[in-house]
Amino acid sequence: MSASDWTDPADVAAMSATWAERKAARTEAPRARRRLRARAALSRIPAAWLAAATAEPCRLYLGSQGRRCGRRPTRLYIQGRRCWWHAPAPPPPRPFTTRRRPSVPDLDLPDRAVCDVCSGEYPVTKTGTLRKHKCDGGDGIKMPCPGGGRPVGPARIPRRSTAGFYKCHTTGAMLRSVTTILGQGSPKPALVHWAGNLVAETAMESLPRLVKASRREETRVEAYDWLRRAHTRKKDERAEVGSAVHALIEAHVLGEPVPEQLLTDPETAPYLEHFRRFVDDFEVTFEASEMVVASYTESYAGTLDYLLRSPHIAGGALLMGDTKTGGELDVKGVYPEAGVQMSAYAHAEYGWLRDGTRVPFPADEVHDVGVVLHLRPEGYRLIPVKCGPEVFEAFRHIRHVADFNADLSPHLVGDALPVPTHTTTRKAA
């Protein structure tokens, strides 16, 4: 019996048509999905951006795939042709302000103050400076007073700039921050391993999410940026907790009311409870808190946490104190850099009181051993740390290294020398 005896040609044709339709459907479905995704992606692009775009492909090289992006449409940037997903982010707009300098809302500034030059009383501006005025220059001539524009009251306290410097309004000197010096002059190899371990832990915890994001280019870039910033997010979280705890401690030391949101916050409330327990256990009395100190000889300035005395430590001597909120109790959290930092504060020459008055700093009275209060939600530990002359000598070396890295190092290596050209001279016959 042959195949033609039991196979109907009409059935074979119908089956072939069905198979062709199924194959076309399987081929068309992914194409349709890709078209829908492309339309959805284009719908998110602003019309103003599309108005100036062209059909040329994106020229960004994707190193992980070994090819260029190739997406369309694109616009021309300084970096070349870029699609919307790889376009350079524009700089954030600057907020509009009518003042040339920002105000100082955190300071308790007086409404009027006496000028040190002409002894006249004049209004104080929002920036904490005395309003510019004129004084008698002789022979009845009015001249601009040199005392106008000078900071008064708490505005005379140097403030740390974003560049890492304190500006002294008395001498005009620019003093490098102690924390900036330690960051630029003291290597911290443990931070590199900590950041690598944190990124690895984050990747393992978010493995399904990362695998899903790796299938599309736009989500792959977002996942890459999110993963490599894991240590930055952790550091910012710790900084927020540390700033809140320092605000609690400062309010407690100065006898000021503690902000209600910090008292009711379950994350910061245990820190305040343990700090109060520390004060009661060691019968602590505070001499200063959040005081700006400076050394003009060594050209540095910084803000110490507090100066304290306790009858149970060094016979009630004046101690340098610092607070740390990271790490784990009895494991880690207090590092040798804390002693170097406190030694710089302990050997300062001047300090500023709350009213802006500059006074000599009692460096001779500060004990050679300070204390670091390691605060954690589960308890506290008070750890002695050396901050005497030998530690301060190490800080001076670190400052020289920081000066080298910040000032001299960028100018050591020059451009490559051009290849010399040799000219051949022929002898006259």
- Segment 79-92, tens digit of pLDDT: 788 888 888 765 55
What are the strands, taking DSSP E only, across 92-152?
112-114, 121-123, 134-136, 142-144
* H-only helix segments in 283-388: 337-346
The reported pLDDT for the residue numbered 335 is: 87
| Separation CA 26–CA 33 (nearest Å) | 11
Which residue matches tokens 């504060």?
345
Q: What is the pLDDT of residue 11?
A: 65
In this structure, the strands spanning 174-177 and 285-295 are unpaired
Q: How far apart are CA 42 and CA 158, in angstroms?
A: 51
Q: What is the pLDDT of residue 303?
A: 93
Quickly count: other Cβ atoms within 10 Å of residue 103's Cβ: 13
Across the chain, mean pLDDT equals 82
C-alpha to C-alpha distance for 374 and 89, rounded to whole angstroms: 41
The predicted structure's pLDDT at residue 40: 65
Are 312 and 116 a contacting pair, CB within 8 Å?
Answer: no
CATH of 179-186+229-409, one of 3.90.320, 3.40.50, 3.30.70, 1.10.760: 3.90.320
User: Residue for token digits 């050679």?
Assistant: 368
- The pLDDT score that the predictor gives to residue 360 is 94
Domain parsing of the chain, residue ranges: 40-88, 102-156, 179-186+229-409
pLDDT of residue 101: 46
Q: What is the pLDDT of residue 95?
A: 53
DSSP 24-67: HHHHHHHHHHHHHHHHHHHHTS-HHHHHT-BSPPP--EETTTTE
pLDDT at residue number 207: 84
Which residues lie below 8 Å from residue 408, measured CB to CB, with a gap of 6+? none
Report pLDDT for 103.
45
The list of the chain residues with pLDDT below 50 reads 1-3, 6, 96-105
CA distance 312 to 371: 12
Distance CA 362, CA 350 (A): 8
Q: How many CA atoms lie within 13 A of 160 on its CB side?
A: 17
pLDDT reported for residue 359: 93
pLDDT of residue 414: 85
Q: pLDDT (tens digit, 9 = 90+) per residue, 317-342?
A: 999 999 988 878 888 878 889 999 99
Q: How far apart are CA 251 and CA 321, in angstroms?
A: 16
- Confidence (pLDDT) at 428: 61
- Helix 337-346 / helix 178-185 crossing angle, nearest 10 deg: 140
Q: Is 129 helix (H, G, I), strand (E, B) or coil?
A: strand
Contact 331, 380 (CB under 8 A): no
